[in-house]
C-alpha cells in the first residue's frame, strides 16, 4: 500500500505516519528528516536546503523530487511506503504521477491553526534518529533522551514561534491545494487530530483500513 500523509506543520502527521508504518510494516519516508540529515552532514543539497528550511520556506521542487525518487527506488519500498511531508506542492504531486507511482490513499491530519500554534512549542525531535516527541502529548520515557536510540531530543530550529507562522502560511499557500488535487482523484481522507495522540491514531489506522 502506498500512502501520503498531509498536514500542517505541527498537526501530527509524522507521528501518525510512524504509527501506520509500525502497524503495516512499510517504511515511513520523511523528506523533512532526510533534508535535516543532509544539512547535518553538510552534503551539497543539504547546504542548498538549509536556508529555506531555517526560514520556514520550502526547499526547491527539483531537490526534493530528486531525493524522493532515489529513496522510493530502494528495495524496502517495493511492498509499499508512507510519504510523510511529500508532496508539498502541486508540481511535486504531478511529478509523482509522472513517475507512475500509484497512490492508494492520502490521509490529511487536520488540526486548526490556533491549536497548532499552541502545540508546536512542546515539540521535540531526536537529533540522532529524527524520532518526534511532544513534552505533553508524547513525552520520552526519560526527559530529553530519545526512547529509540538514546540520543538527545531537541527543539527544531524551525519550531520557533516566528518560523512556525511562516511555515503555516507556506502550508496554506503551497500545500493545501493538494487537498483538492487528491479529492478529485477520490483518494483524500481527512482525520481530525484529537487531544490525545492515541485517539488520533485509532482514527488514522481505521482510515487506512489497518484495523
**Residues 35-64 contacting ligand AMP, CB under 6 A:** 35, 52-53, 56, 58-59, 64
Looking up cell 526560514 gives 55
- Residue 52 or residue 77: which is nearer to ligand AMP going by CB? 52
Does position 93 interact with ligand AMP (CB under 6 A)? The reply is no
- Does residue 88 touch ligand AMP according to CB under 6 A? yes
Residue 116 Cβ vs ligand AMP, minimum distance, rounded to whole Å: 12
By the rule CB under 6 A, 167 interacts with ligand AMP: yes
To the query of whether residue 156 is one of the catalytic residues in this protein, the response is: yes
State how beta strands 2-7 and 123-126 pair: unpaired
Cell for 1? 500500500
- Please report how close the Cβ of residue 211 comes to ligand AMP at its closest, in angstroms: 25
- Minimum CB separation of residue 145 from ligand AMP in Å reads 21
For residue 132, the minimal CB distance to ligand AMP (Å) is: 8
**3-state secondary structure at position 132:** strand
Active-site residue, 88 included: yes
Phi, psi of 93 (to 5 degrees): -65, -40
Our finding on whether 120 is near ligand AMP (CB under 6 A) is: no
Cell numbers at 40, concatenated: 547535518
| Between 27 and 32, CB nearer to ligand AMP | 32
Binding-site member from 28, 31, 153, 201 for ligand AMP (CB under 6 A): 31
Query: Which listed residue (36, 119, 123, 138) is catalytic?
Result: 123
Shortest CA distance to 148 belongs to which of 4, 33, 12, 9?
33
What angle in degrees, to the nearest 10, is found between the helix axes of 61-72 and 31-41? 100
Q: Where are the beta strands (DSSP E) in 25-148?
A: 28-30, 81-84, 105-110, 123-126, 132-134
The 3-state secondary structure of 50-85 reads HHHHHCCCCCCHHHHHHHHHHHHCCHHHCCCEEEEC
Question: What are the φ/ψ torsions at residue 71 (nearest 5 degrees)?
Answer: -70, -45
Options 84-92, 104-112, 135-143, 180-188: segment touching ligand AMP (CB under 6 A): 84-92
Which active-site residues does the annotation give? 13, 88, 123, 156, 167
Q: Which residues bind ligand AMP (CB under 6 A)?
A: 9, 31-32, 35, 52-53, 56, 58-59, 64, 85-88, 92, 158, 167
Amino acid at each position: 500500500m502506498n500512502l501520503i500523509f498531509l498536514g500542517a506543520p505541527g498537526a501530527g502527521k509524522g507521528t501518525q505516519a510512524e504509527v501506520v508504518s509500525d502497524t503495516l510494516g512499510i517504511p515511513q519516508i520523511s523528506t523533512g528528516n532526510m533534508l535535516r540529515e543532509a544539512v547535518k552532514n553538510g552534503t551539497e543539497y543539504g547546504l542548498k536546503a538549509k536556508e529555506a528550511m531555517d526560514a520556514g520556506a520550502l526547499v526547491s521542487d527539483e531537490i526534493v523530487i530528486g531525493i524522493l525518487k532515489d529513496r522510493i527506488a530502494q528495495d524496502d519500498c517495493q511492498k509499499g511506503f508512507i510519504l510523510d511531508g511529500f508532496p508539498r506542492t502541486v508540481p511535486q504531486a504531478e511529478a509523482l504521477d509522472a513517475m507512475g507511482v500509484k497512490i492508494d490513499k492520502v490521509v490529511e491530519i487536520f488540526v486548526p491553526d490556533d491549536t497548532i500554534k499552541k502545540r508546536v512549542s512542546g515539540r521535540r525531535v531526536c537529533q540522532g534518529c529524527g524520532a518526534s516527541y511532544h513534552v505533553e502529548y508524547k513525552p520520552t520515557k526519560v526527559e530529553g533522551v530519545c526512547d529509540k536510540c538514546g540520543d538527545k531530543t531537541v527543539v527544531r530550529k524551525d519550531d520557533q514561534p516566528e518560523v512556525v507562522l511562516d511555515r503555516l502560511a507556506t502550508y496554506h499557500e503551497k500545500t493545501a491545494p493538494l487537498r483538492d488535487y487528491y479529492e478529485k482523484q477520490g483518494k483524500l481522507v481527512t482525520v481530525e487530530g484529537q487531544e490525545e495522540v492515541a485517539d488520533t491514531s485509532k482514527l488514522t489506522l481505521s482510515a487506512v483500513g489497518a484495523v
